[in-house]
Structure 1
Amino acid sequence: MTLPVVAVVGPTGAGKSDLGVELALRLDGEVVNADALQFYRGMDIGTAKLPPGERQGIEHHLLDVLDVTEEASVAAYQQDARRVIDGIRERGRVPILVGGSGLYVRAALDRLEFPPTDAGVRARLEAELSADGSTAFRERLRAVDPASAERIDDDRRLVRALEVHEVSGRPFSAYMPRREYHQPAVQIGLAVDRDVLRERLAGRVRAMVGAGLAEEVRRLAASGLRDGRTASRALGYGQFLRVLDGSMSETDAVEDTVAATRRFARRQLTWFRGDPRVAWLDWRAPHLAEAAAGLVRRSAGPILER
């Protein structure tokens, strides 16, 4: 039998990182990061990256693997995460995926195929879109992929769908993910009290500012943060870049970050609540880690009787 991947999911601020470490201690596991912003070196305070001293000796993978000028890629992450997970299993240990970036979690866990890209084809299609207009382009897509034509409502994705069809010969809709695990997996979601979480997130942002978020952004700006398409738009970082530029006050940056973080947490909850395979546990339950470990052991059967 194959050791399952254990995934700890849920909204930001729910305590996923701490639970991941506790599960690794109980199940003889190693943690694999599934937070797209914790890939970045130096983005520590604003991403709530668990400091090495709080990892209790547990090996953490896929943290600090990108410079802020690099763009995160779900397709590249899928390859890296599966390679790391296979390595953990080969050592006889339990891979524990931790993070709230929903698409990255699915890329690691599910049968998810990424459509091909071709920059030249895309550039030509973008020029044709400018010349012909959205209506004509939607009709072109409808002729080869009616399902995508009905669903897509913006020009960028119209171009992408036609690019995929031209490059692969398959409709864009054929690449839609299915909720089917690539390998055995157990997902544990942290169920939150939304009102409590709202206040917790506000306090968390203010604590990040007190811990030196502005200085972290200033240091990363000198390393090219503004040039990073992914990193520069991260919660808190985009706001404090504007503080550096003089276009936003620090007070407004804090309030804007709090509001954006709360919206992000709601989107995360919607995403994970939509997956019926997630087993939910109260984020503040007594003995949460032991309850989670017991859930994994029951799901995995004799292979995890250790």
Structure 2
Amino acid sequence: MPSPPTTPAIVAIVGPTASGKTALSLDLAEALGGEIVNTDAMQVYRGMDIGTAKLPPAERRGIPHHLLDTLGVRDPATVAEFQGWARAAIADIRGRGATPLLVGGSALYTRAILDRFEFPGTDPAVRARLEAELAEAGSPALHARLRSLDPESAERIEIENGRRVVRALEVIEITGRPFSASLPVQEYADPRTVQLGVTVDRAVLERRIEARVRQMFDDGLLAEVERLLGEGLAEGRTAALAIGYRQARAVLAGELTPDEAIERTVIATRQFARRQLAWWRNDPRITWLAYDDPDRVAKALAVVRGIPAGTGRW
């Protein structure tokens, strides 16, 4: 009797923003007969296209993409919800015999999907009190408190991301442990999981980030944000925090010039890239591939198909 078909692997492509993850994901999807699952927290929002570097449909090579354009900008989204959506999409893709390829820059979201991770509970009273403090004192003040209680988590959470700061402080108060202690452990929920990382020299990455940000503003980011403000972007608890969108809103409000907004967006994006790398640098399960290696697709396929190559940098 023929042996039953092997369940397709789960392939996750990680790496800092502007490193070339999207191009690699498309090449691998074509080679593996795969479908792509977005793991970028902001690309789930309809209309947030330019500022999130969302791949236009015409450039997706006919490859099915999941978890893009599923929410309006007013809708909140949590890591726990994203975990459920992504795992359901992965199960559906594998059920059809295709290979799911996860790609996106939200490191916590990717880890929550791939690894064993049960979310800590919530306490409505604690959450309400912290949110009231956030409204009164502002995110920097609460972030300073988080830094004193849990420096590791503070390093990974943006100062302006009041929602995540509140969540971290809530978990600390409820559990009596650092928020970082409740993050995913390095144990795959499904053993047929492969992580591929795209690595770029820091100086090159910083130039690529600056070029990408300038292109976004040239391509009409201000007009995109003006339109989204009419759809409720400013009231969105998640979407309003997106890098580039905050700075563009400041231009439209007369608080920054376009050049100042570009400079601040570049700085914020570089800081975000460093936080992304902090998530991944200590994960020995990732096989790193140079962004400009002409053989990166062949090497990635060898890893996915199980040809022994070890981990680390090719």
Q: Give RMSD over aligned pairs.
A: 2.7
What residue in structure 1 maps to residue 206 of structure 2?
Answer: 198
Higher RCO (CA 8 Å, separation ≥ 6 residues): 1
Instruction: Indicate which of 101, 105, 124 corresponds to 1:96.
Output: 101
Query: Judging changes above 3 Å, is the alpha-carbon distance between structure 1 residues 299 and 65 closer, same or farther for their aligned structure 2 residues?
Result: farther
Q: Deviations over 1:194-229 (max 9, x none)?
A: 111111111111111111111001110111111112
Question: What SS class does the counterpart of residue 69 from structure 2 fall into?
Answer: coil
CA distance in 2, matches of 1:150, 1:97: 29
What residue in structure 1 maps to residue 311 of structure 2?
Answer: none
CA distance in 2, matches of 1:203, 1:117: 41
Structure 1 residue 64 displacement after superposition: 0.7
CA distance in 2, matches of 1:295, 1:114: 31
Q: What code does the residue aligned with 2:300 have?
A: A
1:162 is the counterpart of 2:162 = no
> Are the counterparts in 2 of residues 186 and 299 from structure 1 also a CA contact under 8 Å?
no
1:284 is the counterpart of 2:295 = no
40-49 vs 259-268, greater mean Cα deviation:
259-268
Structure 1 residue 287 displacement after superposition: 3.1
Structure 1 residue 159 displacement after superposition: 3.9
Structure 1 residue 254 displacement after superposition: 0.6
> Are the counterparts in 2 of residues 126 and 159 from structure 1 also a CA contact under 8 Å?
no
1:49 is the counterpart of 2:54 = yes
Structure 1 residue 268 displacement after superposition: 1.1
The within-5 A match list for 1:137-156 is: 156=166
- Which runs of 5 or more residues in structure 1 are unaligned? 129-148, 301-306
Q: What code does the residue aligned with 1:182 have?
A: A
Q: What code does the residue aligned with 1:36 have?
A: A
Structure 1 residue 164 displacement after superposition: 5.0
Q: Whose radius of gyration is greater, 1 or 2?
A: 1
Q: Deviations over 1:23-57 (max 9, x none)?
A: 01001100000011111110000100011111100
Q: What code does the residue aligned with 2:76 have?
A: E
1:237 is the counterpart of 2:245 = yes
CA distance in 2, matches of 1:153, 1:295: 32
Q: Deviations over 1:221-272 (max 9, x none)?
A: 1111111122112111000101111111111001111111111112112211
Query: Judging changes above 3 Å, is the alpha-carbon distance between structure 1 residues 215 and 298 closer, same or farther for their aligned structure 2 residues?
Result: same
Q: What code does the residue aligned with 2:188 have?
A: Y
The within-5 A match list for 1:1-306 is: 1-123=6-128, 156=166, 157-163=168-174, 175-183=182-190, 184-298=192-306
Q: What code does the residue aligned with 2:29 have?
A: A
Q: What code does the residue aligned with 2:87 have?
A: R
**Percentage of identical aligned residues:** 53
CA distance in 2, matches of 1:284, 1:173: 34
Query: Judging changes above 3 Å, is the alpha-carbon distance between structure 1 residues 200 and 28 closer, same or farther for their aligned structure 2 residues?
Result: same
Question: What SS class does the counterpart of residue 6 from structure 1 fall into?
Answer: strand
Count of residues paired in the alignment: 278
CA distance in 1, matches of 2:181, 2:249: 40
Structure 1 residue 292 displacement after superposition: 1.2
CA distance in 2, matches of 1:200, 1:152: 28
Query: Judging changes above 3 Å, is the alpha-carbon distance between structure 1 residues 44 and 111 closer, same or farther for their aligned structure 2 residues?
Result: same
TM-score, length basis structure 1: 0.83
Query: Judging changes above 3 Å, is the alpha-carbon distance between structure 1 residues 250 and 114 closer, same or farther for their aligned structure 2 residues?
Result: same
Q: Deviations over 1:129-179 (max 9, x none)?
A: xxxxxxxxxxxxxxxxxxxx78799895444333357xxxx9978744210
Question: What SS class does the counterpart of residue 162 from structure 1 fall into?
Answer: helix
Question: What SS class does the counterpart of residue 298 from structure 1 fall into?
Answer: coil
Query: Judging changes above 3 Å, is the alpha-carbon distance between structure 1 residues 69 and 150 closer, same or farther for their aligned structure 2 residues?
Result: closer
TM-score, length basis structure 2: 0.81
Q: What code does the residue aligned with 1:160 have?
A: V
- Which runs of 5 or more residues in structure 2 are unaligned? 1-5, 134-148, 155-164, 309-314
Structure 1 residue 14 displacement after superposition: 0.7
23-32 vs 174-183, greater mean Cα deviation:
174-183
